[in-house]
């Protein structure tokens, strides 16, 4: 939690809230593309979607061309308007 707060306070991440949900995003700049990455979300699905309605115009204003979501596999069932473009694999060592 402290790491997330530090990034938000340093303006390296954005913290979005509504009464029953919260989302943390960050702008990632690649050589040919700027994206908004949502990497933490909590709360009710409907609240997260309401936050998305605020985030999209904001991201466009900052020049982002896409939104990427990092999350658990269960989001695939709910976010039908997103396409799966990659998989993140992890291994403890």
Evaluate whether 47 touches 10 at the Cβ level (below 8 Å): no
Q: Which of 31, 32, 34 is nearest to 68 (CA)?
A: 34
pLDDT in tens, 26-82: 999 999 999 999 989 999 999 999 999 999 999 999 999 999 888 777 777 888 888
So what's the pLDDT on residue 15? 97
Provide the pLDDT confidence category of residue 89 given band limits of 50, 70 and 90.
low
- Show Cβ contacts of residue 55 under 8 Å, excluding neighbours closer than 6 positions: 16, 23, 25, 36, 38, 67
pLDDT in tens, 11-38: 999 999 999 999 999 999 999 999 999 9
Q: Residue 36 falls within a domain, yes or no? A: yes
Provide the pLDDT confidence category of residue 6 given band limits of 50, 70 and 90.
very high
Q: Residue 10 falls within a domain, yes or no? A: yes
Evaluate whether 42 touches 22 at the Cβ level (below 8 Å): yes
Q: Residue 12 falls within a domain, yes or no? A: yes
- Say how many domains are in the chain: 1
Q: Residue 53 falls within a domain, yes or no? A: yes
CATH of the domain at 23: 3.40.630.30
Mean pLDDT of the chain: 90
Q: Residue 89 falls within a domain, yes or no? A: no
- Domain range holding 46? 2-78
Q: Which of 61, 82, 62 is nearest to 73 (CA)?
A: 82
């Amino acid at each position: 939690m402290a790491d997330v707060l530090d990034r938000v306070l340093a303006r390296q991440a954005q913290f979005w809230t509504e009464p029953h949900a919260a989302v943390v995003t960050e702008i990632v700049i690649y050589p040919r593309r700027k994206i908004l990455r949502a990497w933490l979300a909590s709360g009710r699905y409907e609240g997260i979607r309401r936050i998305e309605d605020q985030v999209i115009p904001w991201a466009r204003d900052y020049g982002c061309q896409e939104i990427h979501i990092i999350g658990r596999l269960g989001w695939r069932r709910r976010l039908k308007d997103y396409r799966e473009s990659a998989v993140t694999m992890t291994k403890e060592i």
